[in-house]
Structures are given as C-alpha cells and as structure tokens.
Structure 1
Amino acid sequence: MLLYRLLAQIAFRLYALRLQIAVAMGRLAHESFDERLGRGPKRDGAAPLVWIHGASNGELASARPVIDTLIARAPGLSILVTANTETGRDLARSWQQTRLHADLAPLDYPGAVRRFLDRWRPAALVVIENELWPERLAACAARGIPVLVIGARMSARSYRNWTRLRSLTARILGAIRYLSAQDSGSEGRFRDLGLVSARFGPVVNLKSATTARNTSESLPFPRETTLLAASTHEGEEAAVLDAFARARLKIPGLRLILAPRHPRRRDAIEALIRASGLAFATRSRGARPDPDTTVYLADTMGEMDLWYRAAGMTFVGGSLVDRGGHTPFEPAAHGSAILHGPHISNSAPAYTALAEAKAAIDVASAAELAAGIVALADGEAGARLAAAATAALAPLAAGAALDPFYTALGEATGLPALAS
C-alpha cells in the first residue's frame, strides 16, 4: 500500500495539474476540478446516504434499477452517485431524482478521498463492476464504511496484474464485505485472489436488470422502419451513415436516430451527416424532428428510453470499433431487434446466448449492416428477431439474484427496509 500511495501521489498530482490547465483553457468546469479533489460544501442533515460509484454512463445506466429500488424501499435514504467522467455524472443528474446527488469521484489519493468522505459521510459504498481503487477502499475500511461490489468484473489480464501485487490485493479484498461477480469467470478469479467465500453473493449481470421506462414524448417516425444507432463511438458513425444511405436506396422511408456515446462529439458528427447529404436535426440545438427528418442526432443524456421506444431495430455501438460492445439488454427490453459488430467482449455471455438462438444480426462492415437493416425493416422480421432476443436473454436476467445484495446493504446500513 505504501508503494501504491507513493506512485499514486505522483501520478494524481500530475493529473491534477492537467485538470488545472484544462480549467484555465475552458475545457473543464471549475466545479468538476473541485469535485475531483474532493472539495465542495458538506451535505446537510444526518440522514443515511449510500454512495454508488461507476466508471461512466454505461455502468451507471446499468445500476439505475438498483438505485430506483433503494429509493423506493427506504424513504429516508439519500443516494450519492459518482463517476470518473462528466458524461456519467451528468447522466445521473438528468434522472432528476429528489434524493439523488451526483458528483465526480475523488482522485485516488489520501487528501482528495479524505475531503470527499468528510463532505458526504456515506453509510456504505457500492461499487459497480471493476472500480476497485485502493486508497478509496482503504479509507472506507478505516472509517468502518462497508464496501459492497455488484456486477464485479475481472478479466484474465487484470487478474494477472493483481497476482503480482498480493499485499495490495489482500488489503483491497479485506475491505469488501459483499461481492457479486458479473460472470463465473470473474467470480473464480476473485476467489483465487483470496476473497473469502462468505462474502460472495450470486452472480449478477446488472445490465440484465434493465427495464423499459415509459416516456411522455414520442417521435413522428414509423417504428418498424426506424434504426437507432445506440452509444456509437468515434469511427462508427461514418459506417452507420454509409450503411443507412445504402439501405435507403432500397427502402426510402427509413429513419435513423443517431445517439453517440459522448454528446460532446456533436460538431464532428454533424459534419459527417452533412457530408452524407442526409437531412438531419440535432436534439441539443432544440430541433424537433418532423416526419420528413431523415436523421435525428440524439446528443443528449438520459433519454435513451425515448430513442429505443421509437426504433424497431438497434445497432449496438462500441462493437464495430474495438470498445467491447455495449449491452444488448436495453434494446431487448424495449422489443427492438439487435444488430451488432464483432467486438462484444464486455457482454460476451449475453451475445453468446443471442448467437446460439440466432436472435441478433452480427455485422462486420457497412455493407453487412445495410443488408441487416433492409432485412429487419420488414416489420414481421424485426418483431420475430426482437422476441427471440428477449427469450434468449431471459435466463441471464438478474431477478432475485439481487435480493442478497439488498439484504447485505440493509444490514450494513441499519436500514432493514432495503431487504423487503
């Protein structure tokens, strides 16, 4: 731990300097800089508060059903959500829950973590997936703040790295009171590293807990011929636009909702759409689509339910470029037929289930994506594929597997209502 602290002090002080420069150049808000250093006003009141941390918007979106359940079960409970990115923090703020606060997570060195814990005084820390920061967990353990991890993910590569740091690993695992792994492979690696059996809960893939939420708004597009490109990354929008243009040569009535993973890329994506010659409107500029809008750039946070509801077929982003692919559970929950690229390691069990059931279309190029769009624009074909995906993913649903987590959190915080 001493060596980690020495190296972390150097690394994070250099990173803090970079943040200062970003603030000076107007690329980062001063509020965000302060949050990363653990600064800010102390919260009012002594009501219990649970701190939930995920890396960015993907992890937090998967945790939202858990957050909603905690708020519903314990009326006196407040939730603090943190992320490492402004997009993740802003996503949590867009949910507009009255008992939910959102900040950037503190950098993992003693001063920042100490200030953060002094400000918020959490009753427990819930970690989503693989955000096991040593200083943070050690500080929580020192203050008697229980740490619970849900959907924990550990790759073979991460496991090899942790085995080289046995002392630090033992310190981190010793701070964890409860852990549910995302898959059996991750669970086995945590066991091999020394986490005691009594602290394990059932395997839980949080992304499988996704539910479709009703929205008051709707789009003036025919659903069966509308494609959603969900959470796309740099390098994918051009391929999607190419595929969409090809498909429109055969089905002129097609519509595209383009929802990039990072809305800050709006200007670059607008330039790509202009170059394609397709008529478009941009959500963040206040533009509303009409029946003649061909492409709708959905560059806002917290509105994915609206986009899924409007689209009968979804291309899952992060899969044509090597980003591991985003979750297929969201489009499946909304009854939207699934297309995806070859890079799907982040949700490998789910995509394996889809492949075995022939419940999704796997594409590797713009040409293949165009062919898939044309095939699914037949409403019956899209509906059949969507139904097959729902059936294929049902056995992976979190369901009652989260109940032991709620019980453990209730015991840790003295809020037995969480277990009901």
Structure 2
Amino acid sequence: MLQSLYRGLTTLAGPAVRLYLDRRLAAGKEDSARRGERFGTAARPRPPGRLAWIHAASVGEANSVLVLIDRLLDETPDLTVLMTTGTVTSAELMARRLPERAFHQYVPVDLPAAVDRFLDHWRPDLVLWTESEIWPNLLGAVRARGIPAALVNARMSERSFNRWRCASGLITPLLSTFQVTLAQSEEDADRLRRLGARGVVSVGNLKFSAEPPPADPAALAALRTACAGRPVWLLASTHPGEDELAAAVHEALAPRLPGLLTLLIPPWRARARAAGRQSRRP
C-alpha cells in the first residue's frame, strides 16, 4: 500500500521534479545535452544479446564497481553492461574508464513514466544495485517485471536503519527485489536482514578492490614535489559550509604543524571553480 501511495504521489510530482532538475542544471549538477536520459529517454539503441544493468550513485560507488564490470565481461563474452549514475562527475569518469562493451547512461528520476520508459527500452537481463541508494519506483518496477537482481557492496548505517525501520511496509518489499544481498560488513548484514533483505552475506567492501583512478604523471609528480616534507591533510567531496570548517581546522593546526598544507576537493566543477577563486585571495 505504501508503495502504491508513493507511486501516486510521484506521478503528481512530475512538474516539481522538472523544476528541481532545472535548478540543478543552473548549478552545474546536470548535463543539458543528456537531459532526456533523466526522464528515461535513451541516448542510444539497446545492444543485441544479454544486458546487465549496474547502478551506482556517484563517483566513489562507480569507481568501486569497475573491477566487477571487468570480471563480468571477462567471464561472459556475449554480455554488455549498462552503467547508470546520477552525477555529472561520475558520468565524466565513466566516459574515460568504462571498458569496451560497457557504456554509461544517467539514471532516470524516480517518476513512474521515466522508470517505465527506461526499462521498456533497455530490458535488462540482470540488475546489480550498489550500496544503499533506494528508489521505490525503480526497484518496484524491477521486481514487478521479474528481473533477477542483487544488491552488491550493500551498506546500512544505524541512522538509516532506524529511519527505515519506521517504514518497514515500504523497505521490506523493496529489499525483496534482490535475490542476493552482499553486505560490506557483518553490522550492515545484520541491519539488512532485520529489514527483510534476502540472501544476505557479508563479503567486505568492494572499494578495497578498486584500482586507483588514473592520474597525469607530470601533474602527480608536481603535486608530490609541492607536498614534499610538509604535513598534508585532504578533505574531499566537500559540500557548502565544509570549506569554512576546513579553513578553521587549518588555522587551529598550523601553529603546531609548520608548513601545514590543506587540500580541498569539491565534488562539482562549479564549486571547484569557486573554491579556486577563493584560494587565490590574499
């Protein structure tokens, strides 16, 4: 019943979702050239043969499943992999790093029409969902169509567990979409079992198997030279307000750590440009 209510509410929310995406586009968080993908309109034909759909939320999750994609393609010569993510940065990363027979599309927003359009076109033979991103319409449609699915590198924090426990009528059917659930830790596995996940096994964090992202050798050498002999700390994927917090930490530590170098890495290009302008201020 809760999922039917959610489906009805999201059907009515179409105009609000479009406005939300417009605001993300203005902030540099959406790709205007590929906007149709967010509403389930494919940018390319479905390849022939078997297709595995792997979904990862953003850069970290996408990078962690590259090793899994390589293994699947090596062991299944007639398989093609469709990789979906929801951020511009992850799309750019996948454009550079996905192997042959794998390609990227943006995940559709969780509106019933967008979800149906996406699944009608791609007709995946297997769905692999990573970590803990839960989209009720997407997962409900996968379950309704009887597509084999697994939740890989799954995690469930204590905070998320307590929140979902209050909505067990929604989360339990969604987790039942997955015939297999591969958790990052025993704690994650226990929480997922208590929420109704099936076939739960703790196998460790897939991110530990990921290869380091490629880097320009000259730029890497220059960075190492700049950091040589200095204490360094890095704050990655920062959000608004965290840059100021990092600056305060730097000021507090600098008297005790001469030469301290603080590195900030914002997640979006627009914020990176803004942070760069701020760092050049006297």
Instruction: Report the TM-score, using the length of structure 2 for normalisation.
Output: 0.81
1:48-75 per-residue CA deviation (whole Å, 9 max, x = no partner) reads 2211112111211222222232233333
Q: 2:115: which partner in 1?
A: 113
Q: 1:303: which partner in 2?
A: none
The match for 2:105 among 91, 103, 106 is 103
Q: 1:206: which partner in 2?
A: 206
Change (3 A) 1:94 1:191: same
Contact 1:232/1:260 (<8 A) preserved: yes
Contact 2:28/2:268 (<8 A) preserved: no
Change (3 A) 1:236 1:157: closer
Distance in 1 (alpha carbons) for counterparts of 2:258 and 2:19: 54
Unaligned runs of 5+ in 1: 278-420
1:275-332 per-residue CA deviation (whole Å, 9 max, x = no partner) reads 1x4xxxxxxxxxxxxxxxxxxxxxxxxxxxxxxxxxxxxxxxxxxxxxxxxxxxxxxx
Please report how far the alpha carbon of residue 224 of structure 1 lies from its aligned counterpart in structure 2 after TM superposition.
4.2
1:163-184 per-residue CA deviation (whole Å, 9 max, x = no partner) reads 3333323321221111011222
Q: Does 1:229 align with 2:231?
A: no
Q: 1:261: which partner in 2?
A: 267
Please report how far the alpha carbon of residue 21 of structure 1 lies from its aligned counterpart in structure 2 after TM superposition.
6.3
Contact 2:53/2:82 (<8 A) preserved: yes
CA RMSD of aligned residues (A): 3.2
Please report how far the alpha carbon of residue 242 of structure 1 lies from its aligned counterpart in structure 2 after TM superposition.
8.0
Contact 1:80/1:100 (<8 A) preserved: yes
The match for 1:272 among 269, 275, 278 is 278
Change (3 A) 1:213 1:19: closer
Q: 2:182: which partner in 1?
A: 180
Q: 1:144: which partner in 2?
A: 146
Contact 1:40/1:119 (<8 A) preserved: yes
SS across alignment from 2:65: helix
SS across alignment from 1:75: coil
Distance in 2 (alpha carbons) for counterparts of 1:228 and 1:64: 27
Q: 1:401: which partner in 2?
A: none
Contact 1:47/1:78 (<8 A) preserved: yes
SS across alignment from 1:190: helix
Distance in 1 (alpha carbons) for counterparts of 2:23 and 2:250: 40
SS across alignment from 1:176: coil
1:351-370 per-residue CA deviation (whole Å, 9 max, x = no partner) reads xxxxxxxxxxxxxxxxxxxx
Contact 1:241/1:273 (<8 A) preserved: no
User: What one-letter code is carried by the residue in structure 1 that aligns with 2:234?
Assistant: A
Distance in 2 (alpha carbons) for counterparts of 1:141 and 1:125: 10
Distance in 2 (alpha carbons) for counterparts of 1:47 and 1:241: 55
Distance in 1 (alpha carbons) for counterparts of 2:237 and 2:215: 22
Q: 2:137: which partner in 1?
A: 135
Contact 1:229/1:240 (<8 A) preserved: no
Change (3 A) 1:66 1:155: same
The worse-fitting range, judged by mean Cα deviation, of 185-194 and 17-26 is 17-26
Distance in 1 (alpha carbons) for counterparts of 2:95 and 2:13: 29
Distance in 1 (alpha carbons) for counterparts of 2:201 and 2:27: 46
Change (3 A) 1:200 1:16: same
Distance in 1 (alpha carbons) for counterparts of 2:26 and 2:63: 31
Distance in 2 (alpha carbons) for counterparts of 1:27 and 1:166: 32
Q: Point out the structure with max Rg over C-alpha.
A: 1
Please report how far the alpha carbon of residue 38 of structure 1 lies from its aligned counterpart in structure 2 after TM superposition.
0.3
Contact 1:230/1:261 (<8 A) preserved: no
1:111-143 per-residue CA deviation (whole Å, 9 max, x = no partner) reads 111111122221111111101222111211222
Change (3 A) 1:232 1:41: closer
The match for 1:154 among 145, 153, 156 is 156
User: What one-letter code is carried by the residue in structure 1 that aligns with 2:74?
Assistant: A
Instruction: Report the TM-score, using the length of structure 1 for normalisation.
Output: 0.56
Change (3 A) 1:193 1:24: closer
Q: 1:412: which partner in 2?
A: none
User: What one-letter code is carried by the residue in structure 1 that aligns with 2:280?
Assistant: R
Q: 1:71: which partner in 2?
A: 73
Distance in 1 (alpha carbons) for counterparts of 2:34 and 2:208: 31
